[in-house]
Amino acid sequence: MIRMNKLSKVYRTHMIETHALRGIEIDVQPGEFVAVTGPSGSGKTTFLNIAGLLEEHTGGDYFLDGVNVTGLNDNQRSRLRNEKLGFIFQGFNLIPDLNLFDNVDVPLRYRGFNAAERRRRIEEALAQVGLSARIKHYPSELSGGQQQRVAIARALAGSPKVLLADEPTGNLDTQMARGVMELLEEINARGTTILMVTHDPELAARAARNVHIVDGLVTDFVRREAPSLVAVA
């Protein structure tokens, strides 16, 4: 689903060159739940942004769902993001002036679905995150956990192949974080590939696969049979 070969990213600002990613090799299979961990500044967000086509890599190759995205133009990348990817952000990033219905509607409009199809998908996605009753509410009227659920509904409504989440629970207390994690696990169980950056070892431990990034390199990844089992080598 996500395959990177010798993928690298160099940021060039003024005088400084930052080698944020230095030859990432990874192959994420469809349906996997991958937790990405690593120290601050190690390149996790960079990795996720490149995987999510929010930024372009500067070296190597990246295949998303079999498509080599190297050299695609901005419109093609936008279309791929819209059709294949769903995003969940640490800060929720709902649009404050739109109610839940319209927030979930945003990516669906870019997709070009007709009104009936969009309504069906919005209602279904909000039902899935348990917020059907709040469809006319505005984000400011919801708790953080609820807002993140709306963001998840927005990410899901377009039936993406991959869900990308950068510290989705970073702004939530433990209990709400657990709720969101459970929701992600449910979604993964229905077949959506998930890539999640987290600082929380407990949450990382619940993922079937952990990718550890240090200093721009995947230094360690561990596959285990069941999430309840022992610690990482």
Partner 1 sequence: MEVRPILSTLFRNKTAPLLIAAQVALTLAIVANSLYIIRERLASAARPTGLDEPNIGWINLSPVGEVADPKTMQEVDLNTLRAIPGVRSATWANMIPLSQSGWNSGGMSLKEGDNDSGINSAHYFSPGSLVDTFGLNLIAGRDFTADDVFDHDPEQGSALPKTVIISKALAEALLPNEADLGQLVGQQLFNATEAPVTIIGIVDRLQTPWSNEGADGEQSYILPIRYLVGSFQYAIRTEPGQLDRVMKEAADQLSTLRSDRVLNSQRTFAEIRASRYANETLMAGLLIAVTLFLLLITASGIVGLSSLWVNQRRKQIGVRRALGARRIDVIRYFLVENMLITSGGVLLGLLLTLALNQVLVRQMEVPRLPAEYVGFGMVIMWLLGVASVLGPALRAARVPPAVATRTV
Site membership for partner 1, residue 72 (CB under 8 A): no
The answer to whether 139 and 150 have CB atoms below 8 angstroms apart is yes
Q: Give the footprint of partner 1 on residues 154-213 (CB under 8 A).
A: 154, 158, 166
What does the CA dihedral 143, 47, 53, 162 come to, rounded to 10 degrees? -60
Going by C-alpha positions, the residue among 161, 198, 157 that lies closest to residue 177 is: 198
Strands (E), 65-208: 67-68, 85-88, 162-166, 193-197
Cα–Cα distance, 88 to 21 (Å, whole number): 22
The answer to whether 226 and 73 have CB atoms below 8 angstroms apart is no
Q: Give the footprint of ligand ATP on residues 46-75 (CB under 6 A).
A: 46
Choose which of 7, 35, 44, 92 interacts with ligand ATP (CB under 6 A): 44
* Region binding ligand ATP by CB under 6 A among candidate stretches 35-43, 76-84, 151-159, 174-182: 35-43
* Region binding ligand ATP by CB under 6 A among candidate stretches 37-45, 102-110, 154-162, 220-228: 37-45
Site membership for partner 1, residue 105 (CB under 8 A): yes
From ligand ATP, partner 1, Mg ion, none, which one binds at residue 107 (CB under 5 to 8 Å depending on kind)?
Answer: partner 1
From partner 1, ligand ATP, Mg ion, none, which one binds at residue 91 (CB under 5 to 8 Å depending on kind)?
Answer: partner 1
Nearer to ligand ATP, 41 or 227 (CB): 41
33-37 and 162-166 beta bridge pairing? unpaired
Cα–Cα distance, 71 to 76 (Å, whole number): 10
Choose which of 45, 128, 193, 210 interacts with ligand ATP (CB under 6 A): 45
Going by C-alpha positions, the residue among 40, 37, 43, 41 that lies closest to residue 23 is: 43
- Which residues sit at the interface with ligand ATP, rule CB under 6 A? 11, 13, 18, 20, 38, 40-46
- Which residues sit at the interface with partner 1, rule CB under 8 A? 45, 48-49, 52-55, 74-75, 78-79, 81-83, 87, 89-91, 93, 95, 97-99, 102, 105-107, 109-111, 154, 158, 166
